[in-house]
Amino acid sequence: MANNDDHSSKNQHSPNSVFESSATFRMALSQLESVATLLKIDLGILQRLSVPKRAMIVSVPVRMDDGSTQVFNGYRVQHSLTSGPSKGGLRYHHKVDLGEVAALSMWMSWKCGIMNLPFGGAKGGINCDPASLSMGEKERLTRRFTEEVLSIIGPRMDVMAPDMGTDEQTMAWIMDTYSMKVGYACPEIVTGKPIELGGCLGRREATGRGVTVCILEALKELGIKPSNATAVVQGFGNVGAITCNELAINGIKVIAISDRYGAIHDPKGIDIAALQEFVSKGNMLKDFPKASPINPEEMLMLNCTVLVPAALERVIHLENAPHLKCKILAEAANGPTTPEADEIINNSDIYVIPDILCNAGGVTVSYFEWVQDIQQLLWSEEQVNSKLYELMINAFRRVRSLALEKKISMRLAALSLGVEKIAREKIKRGLFP
């Protein structure tokens, strides 16, 4: 990906240089550039879309349980503030860096654009290994990070949500810290909170449900009955586990699952409920007795109907892309496919459901949560799910028809809808001053 500097070479000021050392950011940029060419986006607008609006790097000192002090790097990047507050998750992962967070914030913008949500994109991250931190350490880390980024967050400015390595409890600490600062309870500062604090029913399941809606729609188009379909899922965190569950509920056999420690396989279908119970007792997924272990990299190349990467970025690459044997690639993770792999897949028969469409259910229900918090209303889970279904199907069909009409890939169609919405808004608002 070192050769995607076309746009930045046109750009005299090269404002992206702080982000471009990241392969993930270069990947996001190259996607934007391909869609900009297709849509013939004005160069000035393209330059503005190529750089995050605001990025903050903070050092987060934390008193550890053993009395020592550890300093973590924290990031919050707001890609766009054009359509409303910026919105996006906060990630705790040992490999988080500024460029990755910036790329993820850009993808959030396109995602909110496709779904027509009144948000720009943002993302945050703290460079830590959450599995090695105690609850107390995580709480102090989260509260101190919130304090450090206080000047750029707010219910009308930037609203965080869970992402990899964070959860409802993390959001509760952010909500409490922010509320203590402003002097009143402010649930609308975060989404993905516990229900007791103004969280939304069905938010935790929303991403996995949205992924499943897309998969079922693609299966329908391909004329494959769910009961004849098999799935391979990479990742068993919130998104991966819920997706497995939803697929199983809809009759799709999940034949292999992996997490960061290993992978399991059973061609007859894995009992998801039993696996969930096994893992919830503190056991490792790879030790699940009712399936056989398999190499996680080989697992991606299993013969299956649907392959669901639901973990990290850039896991489908030049080496494994030619060997994929799935009919549908449902990108539940953000950025799982490198542009080089994308090219290979585009020349195959694989039906791609691109990330910014496939996993948009999460931020969609986050939007429902924010709206309910602001209005002090409570929707039922049925209301949440039916509205989520309506918005996901609608977005899926808009992306699909554009892809067919313009004879472009699903990824390019999804990016076009997301990018074009924000570009249009920027043109209408004009450039200040």
**C-alpha to C-alpha distance for 403 and 200, rounded to whole angstroms:** 33
Annotated catalytic residue within 53, 111, 123, 426: 123
- Min. distance of Cβ 234 from ligand GLU in angstroms? 16
Is position 363 an interface residue for ligand GLU (rule: CB under 6 A)? Answer: yes
**Contact yes or no for 46/415 (Cβ under 8 A):** no
Is position 209 an interface residue for ligand GLU (rule: CB under 6 A)? Answer: no
Residues 154-183 that bind ligand GLU (CB under 6 A): 161, 163
Among 366, 372, 385, 416, binds ligand GLU (CB under 6 A): 366
**C-alpha to C-alpha distance for 396 and 51, rounded to whole angstroms:** 27
- Min. distance of Cβ 204 from ligand GLU in angstroms? 11
**C-alpha to C-alpha distance for 230 and 248, rounded to whole angstroms:** 10
Among 50, 82, 191, 212, binds ligand GLU (CB under 6 A): 191
Helix then strand then coil, in percent of the chain rounded to 5, is 50, 20, 30
Number of residues that bind ligand GLU (CB under 6 A): 12
**C-alpha to C-alpha distance for 81 and 83, rounded to whole angstroms:** 6
Nearer to ligand GLU, 72 or 367 (CB): 367
Phi and psi at residue 148, in whole multiples of 5°? -65, -30
**Cα-Cα-Cα-Cα dihedral sign, residues 148, 151, 152, 158:** positive
Nearer to ligand GLU, 50 or 364 (CB): 364
Nearer to ligand GLU, 87 or 253 (CB): 87
Q: Mark the segment that binds ligand GLU (CB under 6 A) among 221-229, 260-268, 359-367, 381-389.
A: 359-367
Residue showing the smallest CB distance to ligand GLU in the complex: 89
Nearer to ligand GLU, 47 or 166 (CB): 166
- Min. distance of Cβ 35 from ligand GLU in angstroms? 19
Longest dimension (CA), the chain: 64
Q: What DSSP letter does each residue of 156-214 carry, written as one string?
A: TTEEEEE-TT--HHHHHHHHHHHHHHHTS--GGGBSS--GGGT--TTHHHHHHHHHHHH
- Min. distance of Cβ 361 from ligand GLU in angstroms? 9
Q: Measured between alpha carbons, how far apart are the two ends of the chain, in Å?
A: 36
Among 408, 377, 371, 414, smallest CA distance to 392 is for: 414
Does the annotation mark 225 as catalytic? no
Residues 329-348 that bind ligand GLU (CB under 6 A): 334
- Min. distance of Cβ 161 from ligand GLU in angstroms? 3
Nearer to ligand GLU, 125 or 226 (CB): 125
Site string for ligand GLU, 66-105 (x = CB under 6 A): ---------------------xxx----------------
Nearer to ligand GLU, 7 or 203 (CB): 203
Torsion of CA 75, 81, 84, 86, to 10 degrees: -10
Element (DSSP H or E) covering residue 380: none
- Min. distance of Cβ 303 from ligand GLU in angstroms? 30
Q: Which residues of this protein are in contact with ligand GLU, per CB under 6 A?
A: 87-89, 161, 163, 191-192, 334, 359, 362-363, 366
Please identify every residue annotated as catalytic. Answer: 123
